[in-house]
Amino acid sequence: MRRYVLTITCPDRIGIVAAVTGLIASHGGSVLEATQHGDLSSGLFFLRIEVTAESLPFGPAEFRDAFRPVAEEFAMEWQITDTEVRKRVMLLVSREDHCLADLLYRWRSGDMECDITSVVSNHEDLRPFVEWHGIPFRWVPVPPEPASKAEAFAEIQRVFEEERADLMVLARYMQILPASFCDRHSGRIINIHHSFLPSFAGSRPYHQAFARGVKLIGATCHYVTADLDEGPIIEQDTRRIDHADSPEELRRVGRDVERTVLARGLRWHLEDRVLLNGSKTIVFA
């Protein structure tokens, strides 16, 4: 069923829900799903509403025009998306393929509704696997020299724009993105980190977890910011381990968690269920 998804962030005050639903009802709109949250610490109100497209007498452009006066009255940051317009996703990987393989399976089976524009990698190892799926593979090496690294990310930026992609997903892309690159695409880059952040940020988190003797390991799906592994968290999960598990066993268990956490976080983003709230997120899952 085709739906229009309206997401709103605005200062909290009385009358927001009444104004929004009243406008929809005045045009005969049928609300399929509605979720809201008032955040006491920030004083912000968050709202997500799905409206069945067939119940309205107009399309998304006219919907935006009709909604604009309400948005201005309540100083809203808002957007209306059409579920028939699939988001365009560019995947970035290095050598590990477990997250990539999981996402491509979900995409090919129809469980992940998006268009994958290409897979970009700093190594060529996964080219045959990607091209078997009929997806363009773009090799963009990232040399350690600062000037060459800047050129590499300029090329990634060019590809992103050329493909008219909406989102980048770092599916175990083992490169640190430049701060300017992160700032330019705030809220449009998703990463999977193989740790239950904020614990064990940075490299080799499974070895760090083993050294500390932790009893739970996990993974974190988050938006990328200029601060390494500190972006707003979308989803997390954990698995129990014990003293007999080696770092390699932690890594094996952790890969399963990484796959599911990234898939859930990406799906929620694609469905416009994630709203930013400063350094945190509101997730209407």
CATH number at residue 204: 3.40.50.170
pLDDT along the chain (285 residues), means of 10: 97 98 97 97 97 97 97 98 98 97 97 97 97 98 90 97 98 95 96 83 78 88 93 95 85 92 98 97 97
- Whole-number pLDDT of residue 82: 98
CB atoms near residue 22 (< 10 Å): 11
Closest among 85, 107, 115, 4 to 49, alpha carbons compared: 4
Range of 64's domain?
A: 3-82
229 assigned to active site: yes
**How many domains does the chain divide into?**
2
Read off the tokens for 40.
């006491």
Instruction: Check if the beta carbon of residue 274 is closer than 8 Å to that of residue 268.
Output: yes
Whether residues 130 and 67 share a domain: the answer is no
- Whole-number pLDDT of residue 249: 85
Whether residues 279 and 227 share a domain: the answer is yes
- Whole-number pLDDT of residue 245: 81
Longest dimension (CA), the chain: 63
Distance CA 138, CA 120 (A): 5
CATH number where 64 lies? 3.30.70.260
Boundary (domain end) residue, out of 82, 103, 120: 82
Whether residues 100 and 228 share a domain: the answer is yes
Instruction: Check if the beta carbon of residue 74 is closer than 8 Å to that of residue 11.
Output: yes
Q: Which of 102, 229, 245, 272 is catalytic?
A: 229
- Whole-number pLDDT of residue 173: 96
- Whole-number pLDDT of residue 212: 86
- Whole-number pLDDT of residue 201: 74
Helix (H, G, I), strand (E, B) or coil at 168: strand
Whether residues 182 and 133 share a domain: the answer is yes
Name the residue type at position 3: R
Helix (H, G, I), strand (E, B) or coil at 254: helix
Whether residues 141 and 49 share a domain: the answer is no
What's the pTM?
0.94
Boundary (domain end) residue, out of 82, 117, 136: 82
In order of 1, 69, 78, 197, 268, the CA distances from 25 in angstroms are 19, 16, 19, 43, 26
CA atoms 191, 197, 202, 203: torsion sign: negative
pLDDT in tens, 257-270: 999 999 999 999 99
- Whole-number pLDDT of residue 204: 79
DSSP-derived secondary structure for 46-61? EEEEEEEGGGSSS-HH
Whether residues 153 and 198 share a domain: the answer is yes
Instruction: Check if the beta carbon of residue 283 is closer than 8 Å to that of residue 235.
Output: yes
| Radius of gyration of the CA atoms of the chain, in A | 21
51 DSSP β-pair partners: 4, 31
Stretch (H or E) spanning 199: none
Name the residue type at position 130: V
Boundary (domain end) residue, out of 26, 60, 82: 82
Whether residues 154 and 75 share a domain: the answer is no
Distance CA 153, CA 182 (A): 11
